[in-house]
Protein backbone atom coordinates (compact mmCIF):
# COMPACT_ATOMS: atom_id res chain seq x y z
CA UNK A 1 0.00 0.00 0.00
CA UNK A 2 2.83 2.34 0.86
CA UNK A 3 4.62 1.57 -2.41
CA UNK A 4 1.45 2.43 -4.36
CA UNK A 5 1.17 5.81 -2.64
CA UNK A 6 4.81 6.56 -3.43
CA UNK A 7 4.27 5.72 -7.11
CA UNK A 8 1.21 8.01 -7.30
CA UNK A 9 3.19 10.86 -5.69
CA UNK A 10 6.04 10.38 -8.17
CA UNK A 11 3.55 10.33 -11.05
CA UNK A 12 1.94 13.59 -9.89
CA UNK A 13 5.38 15.19 -9.69
CA UNK A 14 6.10 14.29 -13.31
CA UNK A 15 2.76 15.72 -14.60
CA UNK A 16 2.56 19.53 -15.27
CA UNK A 17 0.88 21.39 -12.46
CA UNK A 18 -2.33 23.24 -13.37
CA UNK A 19 -2.31 26.80 -12.11
CA UNK A 20 -5.59 27.97 -10.66
CA UNK A 21 -6.37 31.58 -11.63
CA UNK A 22 -8.15 33.79 -9.08
CA UNK A 23 -11.74 34.69 -9.99
CA UNK A 24 -12.10 37.99 -11.87
CA UNK A 25 -13.21 40.97 -9.84
CA UNK A 26 -16.65 42.27 -10.58
CA UNK A 27 -16.98 45.98 -11.26
CA UNK A 28 -20.28 47.63 -10.59
CA UNK A 29 -21.54 49.35 -13.74
CA UNK A 30 -21.89 53.11 -13.57
CA UNK A 31 -19.43 53.58 -10.68
CA UNK A 32 -16.05 54.94 -11.88
CA UNK A 33 -12.92 53.38 -10.38
CA UNK A 34 -10.29 55.63 -8.89
CA UNK A 35 -7.46 53.87 -10.70
CA UNK A 36 -9.27 53.94 -14.06
CA UNK A 37 -8.07 56.70 -16.39
CA UNK A 38 -11.01 58.85 -17.46
CA UNK A 39 -10.55 60.96 -20.62
CA UNK A 40 -10.39 64.72 -20.06
CA UNK A 41 -13.77 66.34 -20.73
CA UNK A 42 -14.31 69.63 -22.53
CA UNK A 43 -13.05 72.78 -20.80
CA UNK A 44 -16.49 74.38 -20.80
CA UNK A 45 -18.08 71.54 -18.88
CA UNK A 46 -15.27 71.60 -16.28
CA UNK A 47 -15.67 75.35 -15.79
CA UNK A 48 -19.45 74.97 -15.44
CA UNK A 49 -19.03 72.39 -12.68
CA UNK A 50 -16.65 74.73 -10.81
CA UNK A 51 -18.84 77.80 -11.41
CA UNK A 52 -21.97 76.06 -10.10
CA UNK A 53 -20.07 75.04 -6.97
CA UNK A 54 -18.77 78.56 -6.32
CA UNK A 55 -22.20 80.13 -6.92
CA UNK A 56 -23.77 77.76 -4.43
CA UNK A 57 -22.34 79.90 -1.65
CA UNK A 58 -20.83 83.12 -2.98
CA UNK A 59 -19.59 84.22 0.46
CA UNK A 60 -17.60 81.04 1.09
CA UNK A 61 -14.24 80.05 -0.35
CA UNK A 62 -13.49 76.62 -1.80
CA UNK A 63 -10.10 74.91 -1.89
CA UNK A 64 -8.75 72.74 -4.68
CA UNK A 65 -9.70 69.52 -2.95
CA UNK A 66 -13.37 70.54 -2.80
CA UNK A 67 -13.39 71.75 -6.40
CA UNK A 68 -11.64 68.58 -7.57
CA UNK A 69 -14.35 66.51 -5.89
CA UNK A 70 -17.03 68.65 -7.59
CA UNK A 71 -15.38 68.05 -10.99
CA UNK A 72 -15.10 64.32 -10.30
CA UNK A 73 -18.81 64.02 -9.49
CA UNK A 74 -19.89 66.11 -12.49
CA UNK A 75 -17.52 64.53 -15.03
CA UNK A 76 -17.87 60.81 -14.21
CA UNK A 77 -14.73 60.39 -12.17
CA UNK A 78 -12.26 62.69 -13.92
CA UNK A 79 -9.47 63.66 -11.51
CA UNK A 80 -8.04 67.15 -12.11
CA UNK A 81 -4.27 67.00 -11.50
CA UNK A 82 -2.83 69.28 -8.81
CA UNK A 83 -0.32 70.86 -11.21
CA UNK A 84 -2.76 71.31 -14.11
CA UNK A 85 -2.76 74.77 -15.82
CA UNK A 86 -6.52 74.88 -15.24
CA UNK A 87 -5.99 76.16 -11.68
CA UNK A 88 -4.01 79.19 -12.91
CA UNK A 89 -6.68 79.92 -15.51
CA UNK A 90 -9.36 79.67 -12.84
CA UNK A 91 -7.55 82.14 -10.57
CA UNK A 92 -7.31 84.64 -13.48
CA UNK A 93 -10.99 84.30 -14.42
CA UNK A 94 -12.91 87.59 -14.16
CA UNK A 95 -15.75 85.89 -12.29
CA UNK A 96 -13.45 84.30 -9.71
CA UNK A 97 -11.62 85.90 -6.78
CA UNK A 98 -8.58 83.97 -5.59
CA UNK A 99 -7.18 84.27 -2.08
CA UNK A 100 -3.46 83.57 -2.53
CA UNK A 101 -2.79 83.43 1.23
CA UNK A 102 -5.45 80.86 2.15
CA UNK A 103 -5.49 79.22 -1.32
CA UNK A 104 -9.25 79.63 -1.67
CA UNK A 105 -11.47 80.38 -4.68
CA UNK A 106 -14.52 82.67 -4.40
CA UNK A 107 -17.28 83.52 -6.82
CA UNK A 108 -16.88 87.13 -7.96
CA UNK A 109 -20.31 88.57 -8.69
CA UNK A 110 -20.96 91.44 -11.05
CA UNK A 111 -22.27 93.60 -8.20
CA UNK A 112 -20.40 93.92 -4.90
CA UNK A 113 -23.38 93.70 -2.55
CA UNK A 114 -23.73 91.57 0.60
CA UNK A 115 -27.05 92.56 2.19
CA UNK A 116 -30.58 93.76 1.48
CA UNK A 117 -29.59 97.35 2.24
CA UNK A 118 -26.75 97.16 -0.28
CA UNK A 119 -29.16 95.64 -2.80
CA UNK A 120 -31.65 98.49 -2.42
CA UNK A 121 -28.91 101.13 -2.74
CA UNK A 122 -27.49 99.46 -5.86
CA UNK A 123 -30.89 99.51 -7.57
CA UNK A 124 -31.49 103.16 -6.61
CA UNK A 125 -28.12 104.12 -8.15
CA UNK A 126 -29.14 102.58 -11.49
CA UNK A 127 -32.38 104.18 -12.73
CA UNK A 128 -31.95 102.51 -16.15
CA UNK A 129 -32.47 99.09 -14.55
CA UNK A 130 -30.35 96.09 -13.57
CA UNK A 131 -30.58 92.47 -14.69
CA UNK A 132 -32.12 90.46 -11.87
CA UNK A 133 -30.07 87.30 -12.49
CA UNK A 134 -26.82 89.21 -11.87
CA UNK A 135 -28.22 90.52 -8.57
CA UNK A 136 -29.30 87.05 -7.45
CA UNK A 137 -25.72 85.77 -7.76
CA UNK A 138 -24.35 88.43 -5.42
CA UNK A 139 -25.03 86.69 -2.11
CA UNK A 140 -27.12 83.97 -0.55
CA UNK A 141 -30.66 85.17 0.07
CA UNK A 142 -30.61 87.83 -2.66
CA UNK A 143 -33.58 86.24 -4.43
CA UNK A 144 -35.74 86.42 -1.28
CA UNK A 145 -34.71 90.06 -0.72
CA UNK A 146 -35.66 90.95 -4.31
CA UNK A 147 -39.10 89.39 -3.87
CA UNK A 148 -39.54 91.33 -0.63
CA UNK A 149 -38.67 94.64 -2.33
CA UNK A 150 -41.20 93.91 -5.08
CA UNK A 151 -43.96 93.07 -2.58
CA UNK A 152 -43.24 96.24 -0.61
CA UNK A 153 -43.50 98.27 -3.87
CA UNK A 154 -39.94 99.51 -3.55
CA UNK A 155 -38.80 98.20 -6.95
CA UNK A 156 -40.51 97.24 -10.22
CA UNK A 157 -39.81 94.00 -12.06
CA UNK A 158 -40.08 94.07 -15.89
CA UNK A 159 -39.55 91.17 -18.32
CA UNK A 160 -37.50 92.12 -21.39
CA UNK A 161 -37.98 89.77 -24.35
CA UNK A 162 -36.19 91.66 -27.12
CA UNK A 163 -33.12 89.42 -27.44
CA UNK A 164 -33.62 86.73 -24.82
CA UNK A 165 -36.06 86.54 -21.90
CA UNK A 166 -34.52 88.32 -18.93
CA UNK A 167 -35.94 90.20 -15.97
CA UNK A 168 -34.88 93.79 -15.24
CA UNK A 169 -35.58 95.61 -11.96
CA UNK A 170 -36.03 99.38 -11.64
CA UNK A 171 -36.35 101.70 -8.64
CA UNK A 172 -39.98 102.41 -7.89
CA UNK A 173 -39.52 106.14 -7.21
CA UNK A 174 -38.78 106.90 -10.86
CA UNK A 175 -42.07 105.38 -11.95
CA UNK A 176 -44.02 107.19 -9.26
CA UNK A 177 -42.96 110.52 -10.79
CA UNK A 178 -44.18 109.43 -14.21
CA UNK A 179 -47.47 107.97 -12.97
CA UNK A 180 -48.49 111.11 -11.07
CA UNK A 181 -51.31 112.44 -13.31
CA UNK A 182 -53.65 115.30 -12.55
CA UNK A 183 -57.23 114.24 -11.79
CA UNK A 184 -58.67 116.72 -14.31
CA UNK A 185 -56.74 115.06 -17.11
CA UNK A 186 -57.94 111.62 -15.98
CA UNK A 187 -61.58 112.79 -16.10
CA UNK A 188 -61.07 114.26 -19.56
CA UNK A 189 -59.55 111.02 -20.80
CA UNK A 190 -62.40 108.94 -19.38
CA UNK A 191 -65.02 111.15 -20.99
CA UNK A 192 -63.84 110.40 -24.52
CA UNK A 193 -66.03 107.74 -26.12
CA UNK A 194 -64.73 105.62 -28.94
CA UNK A 195 -67.12 104.74 -31.82
CA UNK A 196 -68.21 101.19 -32.50
CA UNK A 197 -66.09 98.97 -34.71
CA UNK A 198 -68.59 99.25 -37.58
CA UNK A 199 -68.70 103.06 -37.52
CA UNK A 200 -64.98 103.44 -36.85
CA UNK A 201 -64.00 103.56 -40.55
CA UNK A 202 -66.74 106.13 -41.30
CA UNK A 203 -65.59 108.26 -38.40
CA UNK A 204 -62.01 108.21 -39.68
CA UNK A 205 -63.07 109.19 -43.20
CA UNK A 206 -65.13 112.06 -41.80
CA UNK A 207 -62.03 113.27 -39.94
CA UNK A 208 -59.95 112.99 -43.12
CA UNK A 209 -58.04 109.90 -42.04
CA UNK A 210 -57.56 106.67 -43.96
CA UNK A 211 -57.06 103.17 -42.66
CA UNK A 212 -53.86 101.34 -43.46
CA UNK A 213 -53.52 97.66 -44.12
CA UNK A 214 -50.64 95.49 -43.24
CA UNK A 215 -49.28 94.33 -46.54
CA UNK A 216 -47.95 90.85 -46.83
CA UNK A 217 -44.37 90.71 -48.02
CA UNK A 218 -44.14 89.02 -51.37
CA UNK A 219 -41.02 87.23 -52.29
CA UNK A 220 -40.30 88.48 -55.81
CA UNK A 221 -37.64 85.90 -56.39
CA UNK A 222 -39.20 83.04 -58.35
CA UNK A 223 -38.81 79.59 -56.90
CA UNK A 224 -36.08 77.51 -58.52
CA UNK A 225 -37.30 75.21 -61.24
CA UNK A 226 -36.84 71.57 -60.55
CA UNK A 227 -34.84 69.91 -63.28
CA UNK A 228 -35.98 66.54 -64.43
CA UNK A 229 -33.22 64.03 -64.74
CA UNK A 230 -32.99 62.46 -68.14
CA UNK A 231 -33.64 58.78 -68.08
CA UNK A 232 -30.58 56.80 -69.04
CA UNK A 233 -32.05 54.10 -71.21
CA UNK A 234 -29.65 51.49 -72.39
CA UNK A 235 -30.29 50.30 -75.95
CA UNK A 236 -29.14 46.83 -76.79
CA UNK A 237 -28.22 46.37 -80.43
CA UNK A 238 -28.69 42.87 -81.84
CA UNK A 239 -27.76 41.32 -85.18
CA UNK A 240 -25.00 43.83 -85.76
CA UNK A 241 -23.29 41.31 -88.04
CA UNK A 242 -26.12 41.53 -90.61
CA UNK A 243 -25.12 44.40 -92.88
CA UNK A 244 -26.79 43.71 -96.24
CA UNK A 245 -30.32 42.97 -95.04
CA UNK A 246 -33.17 45.12 -93.74
CA UNK A 247 -35.00 42.99 -91.22
CA UNK A 248 -38.04 45.28 -91.17
CA UNK A 249 -38.63 44.52 -94.85
CA UNK A 250 -36.96 41.21 -95.67
CA UNK A 251 -38.05 39.25 -92.61
CA UNK A 252 -40.82 36.72 -93.26
CA UNK A 253 -42.60 34.97 -90.42
CA UNK A 254 -42.45 31.16 -90.60
CA UNK A 255 -46.26 30.77 -90.49
CA UNK A 256 -46.82 33.13 -93.46
CA UNK A 257 -46.77 31.81 -96.99
CA UNK A 258 -44.01 33.19 -99.16
* Residue 235 belongs to a domain: no
Give me the domain span that covers residue 126.
Answer: 116-178
Separation CA 127–CA 134 (nearest Å): 16
Q: Is 214 helix (H, G, I), strand (E, B) or coil?
A: coil
Domain finish residue from 161, 178, 195: 178
Separation CA 228–CA 57 (nearest Å): 66
- pLDDT tens profile 183-214: 898 899 888 887 777 777 887 888 888 776 65
Please tell me whether residues 78 and 131 are part of one structural domain.
no
- Average pLDDT across the chain, whole number: 75
- pLDDT tens profile 226-247: 676 666 666 666 666 666 666 5
Please tell me whether residues 53 and 98 are part of one structural domain.
yes
- Give the model's pLDDT for residue 181: 79
Mean pLDDT of 47-69: 82
Separation CA 104–CA 62 (nearest Å): 5
Min mean pLDDT across 145-154, 196-205, 212-221 is at 212-221
- Give the model's pLDDT for residue 90: 86
Q: How many domains does the chain have?
A: 2
Please tell me whether residues 75 and 125 are part of one structural domain.
no
Domain finish residue from 153, 178, 203: 178
Please tell me whether residues 53 and 92 are part of one structural domain.
yes
* Residue 53 belongs to a domain: yes
Domain finish residue from 178, 202, 222: 178
Please tell me whether residues 59 and 85 are part of one structural domain.
yes
Mean pLDDT of 164-188: 78
Please tell me whether residues 54 and 92 are part of one structural domain.
yes
Mean pLDDT of 87-111: 85
Please tell me whether residues 101 and 151 are part of one structural domain.
no
* Residue 137 belongs to a domain: yes
- Give the model's pLDDT for residue 178: 57
Separation CA 38–CA 41 (nearest Å): 9
Please tell me whether residues 145 and 124 are part of one structural domain.
yes
Please tell me whether residues 148 and 100 are part of one structural domain.
no
* Residue 77 belongs to a domain: yes
* Residue 29 belongs to a domain: no
Min mean pLDDT across 94-98, 142-146, 174-178 is at 174-178
SS3 sequence, the chain? CHHHHHHHHHHHHHCCCCCCCCCCCCCCCCCCCCCCCCCCCCHHHHHHHHHHHHHHCCCCCECHHHHHHHHHHHCCCCCCCCCCCHHHHHHCCCCEEEECCCCEEEECCCCCCCCHHHHHHHHHCCCCCEEHHHHHCCCCCHHHHHHHHHHCCCEEEEEECCCCCEEEEEEHHHHHHHCCCCHHHHHHHHHCCCCCHHHHHHHHHHCCCCCCCCCCCCCCCCCCCCCCCCCCCCCCCCCCCCCCCCHHHHCCCCCCCC
* Residue 170 belongs to a domain: yes
Amino acid sequence: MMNQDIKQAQLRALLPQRQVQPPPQRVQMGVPMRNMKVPRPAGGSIMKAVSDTLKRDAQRGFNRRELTEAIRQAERGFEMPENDPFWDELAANKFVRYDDINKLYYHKAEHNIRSKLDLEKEIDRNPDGLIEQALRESYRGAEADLNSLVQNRQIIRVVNEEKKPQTVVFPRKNFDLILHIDQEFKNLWSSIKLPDDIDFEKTMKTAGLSMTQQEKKINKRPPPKSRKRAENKKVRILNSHVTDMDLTKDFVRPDQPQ
